Each structure stands twice: as C-alpha cells, then as structure tokens.
Amino acid sequence: MKIVVCVKQVPDSTAKVVVEQGRIIWGDAPLVINPWDEYAMEAALQQREALSGTVTAVTIGDESARETLRRALAMGADDAILISDPGLVNLDTQATAQVLAAVIRKIGAVDMAFFGRQAIDGDAGLVPAQTARLLGWPALTLASVIKVEGGSVHVERGIEEGRQIVTAKLPAVFSMTKDFGEPRYPSFMGIRKASRVEIPAWSLAGVGIAAPVSVITWPEIINPPSREITCEYITGSNPDEIAEALAAKILAEKVL
Amino acid sequence: MGASTAYHLALRGQKNILLLEKDEFFGQEATGRCAGGVRYQFSTEINIRLSLQSLPMLERFKDELGQEINFRKCGYLFVLTSPKDVKIFQHSLELQHGLGVKTEWLSADEIHNRLPLMQFDDALAGSYNPEDGLVDPNSVVMGYVNGAQRMGVQCFNKVEVVGIQTEGGKIVAVDTNQGTIATRTIVNAAGPWAGMIGQMAGVEVPIIPYRRQIITTTPLAEIPQDFPFVLDFAQSLYFHREGEGILTGMSNNNEKAGFDQSVDEKFEMINMEAAIARLPCLEKAGLLSHWAGLYEVTPDAHPIYGKTPVDGFYLVAGFSGHGFMHGPISGKLMAEYILDGNFQSLDVSMLDLARFKEDRQMREYNVV
C-alpha cells in the first residue's frame, strides 16, 4: 500500500492572528503542522500498520516547512518531500490541488492520499476534493472510519445529518475528521530518526508542471469587528452556593 | 513571588495592596513553566535555611489556604560522576546534617539498586533526601492569589508595568498600560524581568534571564510510582515521574541570555539523546509536550531581598532556579521587611542588592 499524506504548515492554534496594514500576521507564534493533518497522519499510519506499505508526507512551502515534515516523520512517516518553488506563492485551493495532484502522480502508484479535513488558517476544506477531482479519484471526505478490503475501501463519513457509509475503489482521496481517533505523539525514536532524514525538495520543474495560476484573490483583508464583552464573576461562600448562583444566572439569561 | 508577598502582607493586616500581572493569567511565566521541584539539598547555609522554612510552609499549605498543591515527597537523588562534585557534595552533606537536614549519602552500588532502569555505570556516589519532592506550581500560585483576594488584595491581570515614577529618590507612582497608580511602595517580584523593572526606577538589578526547557513523555509502564527526582549533576540533566510518564530537562550551558521562550529543538535533541542514554526506556516514549521558561539568574546564584537605593522600591527576585520552592518563605520575609523594617523569620540581610558592589557574594553550587 503506497500512501501519501498532504500536510500544511500553519500558525499555532494559540496564535493571535490579526490583520495589520492589509497583511495577516501572527506575531512570534510558532509554525506547526496543521492539527487536522495529524489525524490524517494517524489514519495513514494505521493503514500502513494494517496493510503494510509506506507513508510519504508531502507539503508545499519554504524551507521552514521542513519542520512540519519532520513532525510527520517523527510520528512515523517513512519519507517526506518538500515542494518548494518561487512560483508557489499565494496559492488558492485549486492551485494548491493542481500541485498536489501532480506530485501524487509523480510519486506514482499511490493507493491512498490523506488530508486533514481543512487547514486551520484558510479553513476552506476544499483541497482534498479538488485534488481528487484532478486525479479522477473518489473523494472520501470527512472520514472517521476506514476499512480496506481488497481493492475497495469502506468509509464512514460524519455529516450533518448523521453518519454515512460509502464504498469506493482505490486509489482514493480521504479527508479525516477527529472522530477517527487521537493522533499519536511522536516518539523519541521517531524524533531522532526525523532529525537525521534528508528531506528532498522538488521544484515545479521537478514535479513537471508550470506555476499554477490562482483564480481567487483576496482584495481586502480586515479584522472582524470587535465585540464588547462584559464579564461577571459569580461568587459565593462555597462551591454549592456558587454553582446554584451560576445555574440561576444561566436560566435567567435563557442560555439553556 | 509576587502572589506570596501580597498574601503575606495582607495576612499581616496591610491594606491597599495591588498585585499586577502583565499576562492574562497568574503564574504563566517562570513559576508556571518550572518543573515543580522542591528540595533541601543545597550547598550554602542560607539556601538550606530558606528550604527549612519554605518546604514546611508548602506542607501546611492546604490547611492554611484551603488549596491542594499535590506535594509528593519522591525525594531528590543527585547522581555524581566527577570526583570534584563528590568532594563538594560531601561538604554540603555535612552542612545539611549540621542544620538538621537528613540527606543520605549513597554509594554507586546503592544508586544502581535504587535506579535499576537507569544507566549510571559512571556513578561515583550520590546524595538523596526523601523529604525533597514535587509540588504543583499553578496550585501554589492560585492558592496565594485566592488567599490574598479573600483578604482584600486587588489582583489584576493584563496590567503591564511600563514605568516607575520617583521624586527625590522616593517612589511616587507606577505607570501601567492601564494607567498610573499613585503609591509609595513597589515590590519588584518580576523574576526574569526584574532587571527591566529595576531600570524603570533607575536601579541596576543584576538579574539575567536564561532559557531552560522541559520535555514530558507519554506513559511508561516501567516507571515505578516511587521513582525519585533524579539529577545527573555533571550534565545538569534531570528526570522525574510526571503523570504516568517522565519529565526531563537539561540546562544548556551555551544558552545566551535573553527572553526567548520558544523551544530550541536542536538542544531538545541533545536533551533527548542524553536522557535516553541514562534512561533507555525513553526511546520508545512519545513526546507528550515540551516548553521553555526562564531562569532569573544572579551572579552568585542567590536571590536578592530587600531595599534598593530608591526609597520604597523593594526587590525579591533572582532566585536562579529556586524561586518556586523558596517562594512561600520569601513572601513572608518581604512582608516582615516592609512592615517591620527587618527580616524576622530568617536573617537574609546578607542577600541584599548591595552585596554585588561590596564583594559579599556567595556561590550556590547545586544549581541545575
């Protein structure tokens, strides 16, 4: 089983993201692997453990994105590829999907391509389906359970109305939700291995495509309007009294 | 340190106390990021005496403040691998015994027997005190903050001190990002930032911030419940049980002074490799979390207590890695000093700011 996991480097989820002079900034918060992609990594590693094979982590980014790939390697990926090129800037989701589809084709004979359900910076959640479309593969999005049998896969999807069971032929694209189960922590052994791995960088020429053209531009970026929040402390002489006062307040405010 | 000082001032009946914290929550910086270790094993008499007063205060903490702080007496085991350290620790042991601290001397064989999971073939000897242990830092901070608030102390978050006003060599006000507060008394308990706060009042405070970092692991079934706080002293490498896993940290002797609190992942690898060499079962552990915090280091690795050249401007900082464990007694001592004019519970007058200019420094050896 040849498995690819597409991961993205994003600002830490605790970062205070603001817009200043039309630019999105997050201060000195560290860049980390997109948390949703850790679920994708976990799903991929479990498939490898069940079916044998290899897991390759892929990301698009500059040199700093190598750290995100090292996190994937430390979790257990067999290898990693950085897609880095001056032509890869300000990509929209369909341009990103063009690159990732081309990379997956170039890797060749891939059976399963995993994504997190969305990235916590853009929050579009479109890249998995767009990549699947370009590859001509089934898009099994919002997956929480995956079972491979022969050349087919059974997937349980979490949708608004409930659960949906779908079956498809491999190869396929999967986007994972946290219902799949908690991702594993990178092991000391994995971190040690990841620190020593040489991560190859592929340019657009190496992938064999021209720079994709984004069709969506962001003409203006603004901070959301600030909200006035007042905070009231519920006090009391003991926990029971505080809880009673809090419950009364919740009912009075019609929160419940 | 600030919360303890505010609490003890209020306990003595002092009114109109304000506790100012620049962060969103209390105890998020040096205290909240420390390993939580508390110990009697020091190399100078004053540090041992500080522990002799401070650790019992932590033992009484729940009774006094109603806050559980999870004091776990796992013992500190210093493992010594150099003849020089053996000699110095033997001297410290005598000093500790003379002050009533019952630290035990361990042979290399005894260390191997006590730490069967660890690789200490190069151990020469060790010192162990079963009364040393671990306490939850955030619980202690919140115990003091809540206790202080119950007695009328006003505790503010997100209030950053940006300036200090003096007139004729006396404190008259503190400027914050939320406005100016008129006062005749300021206690600088800003830990790694104490030097910056000192500068605002025109006082040179020789406290330098240094980054230290910590790793915690996923559960390891092999680690026994009574696993002690183990220190490989020569490497400044330590381990203790944290939850069902291990917490390990190591001091980077090449760390440059500064306020950077991001994790240095290159040094983390060095820490990890050294930790695996000592505790091989760590190899299969997962990295649960990691973080960095700041030590507040003075030239002699001892704290600074008391007055400064500016009247009404007091200092309690520079604990060089021991502030959490000495926080309870230090707050009490500062309350005594401010209200009575001298230290009642323990004479720490030799740990004044002037010692650095008067060549009265003393060196603490047991710094990790």
Segments in A55-187 forming alpha helices (H): 66-75, 93-107, 127-135
Mention every residue, 6+ apart, whose C-beta is less than 8 A from residue A133. A97, A139
- Determine, for residues A185 and B218 on separate chains, whether the beta-carbon distance falls below 8 Å: yes
CB nearest B284 (choices: A28, A189, A195) = A189
Distance from CA of B271 to the nearest CA of A (A): 11
How far B367 CA lies from chain A's nearest CA (Å)?
Answer: 27
User: Each residue of A93-107: pLDDT tens digit?
Assistant: 999 999 999 999 999
Please give the average per-residue pLDDT across B284-301, as a whole number. Answer: 95
Q: Give me B318's structure tokens.
A: 């520079």
Helices (H), ranges, B135-188 = 137-150
- Sign, CA torsion B266/B268/B270/B272: negative
What pLDDT digit, counting tens, does each position of B38-52 carry?
999 999 999 999 999
Beta strands in A150-235 (DSSP E): 152-159, 162-169, 172-176, 201-202
pLDDT for position A235: 86
Q: What separation, in Å, do the N-terminal and C-terminal C-alpha atoms of chain B show?
A: 20
- Last residue of one domain, picked from the residues B269, B297, B325: B297
Q: Quick one: pLDDT at residue B303?
A: 97
**A-chain residues near B286 (CB < 8 A):** 184-188
- Express each pLDDT in B20-41 by its tens digit: 999 999 999 999 999 999 999 9
Residue B150 has phi, psi (to 5 degrees) of -60, -25
Domain check: are B172 and B312 in the same one?
yes
> Would an 8 Å CB–CB cutoff place B276 in contact with chain A?
yes
Q: B247 in contact with A at a CB cutoff of 8 Å?
A: no
Question: Among candidates B229, B45, B249, B32, which has minimal Cα distance to B132?
Answer: B229
How far apart are alpha carbons B119 and B283 in whole angstroms?
Answer: 13
Whether residue A171 has a cis bond before it, omega within 30° of 0: yes
Contacts of B220 in chain A (CB under 8 A): none
Q: Report how far residue A28's alpha carbon sits from residue A12's, in angstroms, rounded to the nearest whole number.
A: 10
- Which range marks the domain in which residue B290 is found? 77-132+209-297
Q: Quick check: B308 pLDDT over 90?
A: yes
Residue of B nearest to A193 (CA): B269
Amino acid at A156: E
Does residue A21 register a pLDDT over 90? Answer: no
All residues of chain B having their beta carbon less than 8 Å from the beta carbon of residue A192 are 269, 272-273, 276
**Cβ B6 vs Cβ B155: under 8 Å:** yes
Nearest by CB: B282 against A74, A188, A195: A188
Domain presence at residue B362: no
Task: Give the model's pLDDT for residue B287.
Answer: 95
As a whole number, the mean pLDDT across chain B is: 96
Distance CA A214, CA A218 (A): 11
Q: Which residues of A touch B265 (CB under 8 A)?
A: 67
Residues of chain B contacting residue A189, judged by C-beta atoms under 8 Å apart: 283-284
Test the B interface: residue of A41, A188, A191 with most B CBs within 10 Å: A188
**Which residues of chain B form beta strands (DSSP E)?**
18-20, 37-38, 76-80, 104-107, 125-129, 133-134, 154-156, 161-167, 170-176, 179-182, 186-188, 208-217, 229-232, 237-242, 245-250, 287-297, 304-307, 313-317
**Quick one: pLDDT at residue B20?**
98
For residue B276, give the nearest of A30, A67, A188 by CB distance: A188
Q: Is residue A4 within 8 Å of A111, Cβ to Cβ?
A: no
Query: Which residue type is seen at A76?
Result: G
Chain A interface, Cβ < 8 Å to B: 28, 30, 67, 74, 184-189, 191-192, 195
Q: Which two tokens stand for residue B357?
A: 């200019």
- Residue ranges of B 160-219 with Cβ closer than 8 A to chain A: 217-218
Within-domain flag for B321 = yes
Which residues is B208 bridged to in the sheet?
A: B297
Same domain, B216 and B276: yes
Structural domain contains residue B28: yes
Of the candidates B152, B140, B110, the residue with the CA atom closest to the CA atom of residue B127? B110
Residues B307 and B350 in one domain: yes
Angle between helix A127-135 and helix A93-107 axes, rounded to 10 deg? 50
Q: Looking at residue B355, what is its pLDDT? A: 96
Q: Provide, as residue numbers in chain B, all residues whose Cβ is less than 8 Å from the Cβ of A233.
A: none
- Letter for the amino acid at B189? A
Domain CATH number, residue B199: 3.50.50.60
Residue A17 has pLDDT above 90, yes or no: no
Helix, strand counts (H, E) of chain A: 7, 13
Q: How far is CA A176 from CA A35, A71, A117, B2, in A?
A: 11, 18, 5, 46
pLDDT, greater one: B368 or B90:
B90
Give bridge partners of residue A172 from the DSSP assignment.
Answer: A112
Nearest to B21, CA basis, from B5, B43, B37: B5
Establish if B66 belongs to a structural domain.
no
B216 close to B288: Cβ distance less than 8 angstroms: yes
CB proximity B236 to A under 8 Å? no
Q: Which of B279, B283, B288, B290 to mutate to test the interface with A (most CBs of A within 10 A)?
A: B283
Average pLDDT of chain A? Answer: 95
Query: Six-digit token pair at A166?
Result: 């779908």
pLDDT score for B366: 83
C-alpha–C-alpha distance, residues A195 and A197, integer Å: 6
Look at residue B45 and tell me if it is in a domain: no
Cβ <8 Å between A186 and B287: yes
Q: Which of B196, B198, B193 is nearest to B166 (CA)?
A: B198
Minimal Cα distance from A76: which residue of B?
Answer: B286
Q: Do B272 and A187 touch (CB under 8 A)?
A: no
Closest to A98 in 3D by CA, of A175, A213, A218: A213
* Element holding A116 (H helix, E strand): strand A112-116
pLDDT interval class at B108 (50, 70, 90): very high
Span A161-190, average pLDDT = 96
Cα A226 to Cα A18, A120, A229, A230, B157, distances in angstroms = 12, 21, 9, 13, 20
Nearest CB to B262; choose among A30, A186, A189? A30
Size of interface A-B (CB pairs under 8 A): 36
Any A CB within 8 A of B272 CB: yes
pLDDT above 90 for A134: yes
Number of domains in chain B: 2
Q: Are residues B223 and B283 in the same domain?
A: yes
The pLDDT of residue B196 is above 90: yes
To which CATH superfamily is domain A2-207 assigned? Answer: HUPs (3.40.50.620)
Give me the residue from B275, B282, B286 closest to A185, CB to CB: B286
Q: What's the average model confidence in pLDDT over A162-175?
A: 97
Please judge whether B269 and A195 are an interchain contact, meaning their C-beta atoms are less than 8 angstroms apart.
Answer: yes
ipTM value: 0.76
Residue pair A6/A125 in contact by the 8 Å Cβ criterion: no
Considering the domain architecture, whether residues B188 and B329 belong to the same structural domain is answered as: yes
Q: Give residues with Cβ within 8 angstroms of B231, minimum separation 6.
A: B76, B77, B78, B79, B237, B238, B368
Cβ of B283 within 8 Å of Cβ of A67? The answer is: no
Of the pLDDT bands very low, low, confident and very high (cuts 50, 70, 90), residue A87 is very high
> Please, where are the H alpha helices in chain A?
35-51, 66-75, 93-107, 127-135, 188-196, 204-207, 239-252
The two structure tokens encoding residue B53 = 């007063």
**Cβ <8 Å between A186 and B286:** yes
In a domain, B72, yes or no: no
* Residue A230, C-beta contacts closer than 8 angstroms, at least 6 positions apart: none
Q: Find chain B residues with C-beta within 8 A of A188's C-beta.
A: 217, 272, 275-276, 282-287
Residue type, B77: L
Say if B47 falls within a structural domain.
no
CB–CB contact B285 A30 (8 Å): no
The 10s digit of each residue's pLDDT in B60-98 is 999 999 999 999 999 999 999 999 999 999 999 999 999
What is d(CA B317, CA B295) in angstroms, rounded to the nearest whole number?
A: 11
Whole-number CA gyration radius for chain B: 20
Let me know whether B195 and B282 are in one domain.
no
Whole-prediction pTM: 0.86
Residue type for B57, please? Answer: M
Do B127 and B231 share a structural domain?
A: yes
Pairing mode, strands B133-134 and B154-156: unpaired
Helix, strand, coil % in chain A, rounded to nearest 5: 35, 25, 40
Chain B residue with minimum CA distance to A185: B286
Which range has the worst mean pLDDT, A165-179, A213-227, B183-197? A213-227
Q: Searching chain B, which residue's CA lies closest to the CA of residue A67?
A: B265
Handedness of CA A29, A35, A41, A42 (dihedral sign): positive
Residues B164 and B183 in one domain: yes
Q: How many angstroms separate the CA atoms of B6 and B189, rounded?
A: 10
Q: Is the pLDDT of residue A16 over 90?
A: no
Q: Which chain A residues touch B282 with a CB distance below 8 Å?
A: 188
What pLDDT, on a 0 to 100 scale, did the predictor assign at position B363? 84
Decide if B264 is inside a domain. yes
The answer on B281 and B226 residing in a single domain is yes
Task: Report the distance separating Cα B95 and Cα B100, nearest Å.
Answer: 9
- Taking CB atoms and an 8 Å cutoff, what residues of chain B touch A28? 262
Cα Rg, chain A, nearest whole Å = 21
CB–CB contact B287 A191 (8 Å)? yes
Task: State the CATH number of the domain containing residue B288.
Answer: 3.30.9.10
B262/A188 Cβ within 8 A: no
B267, pLDDT greater than 90: yes
Q: For B67, phi and psi rounded to 5 degrees?
A: -120, 120
Asked if B266 contacts B211 with a C-beta cutoff of 8 angstroms, the reply is: no
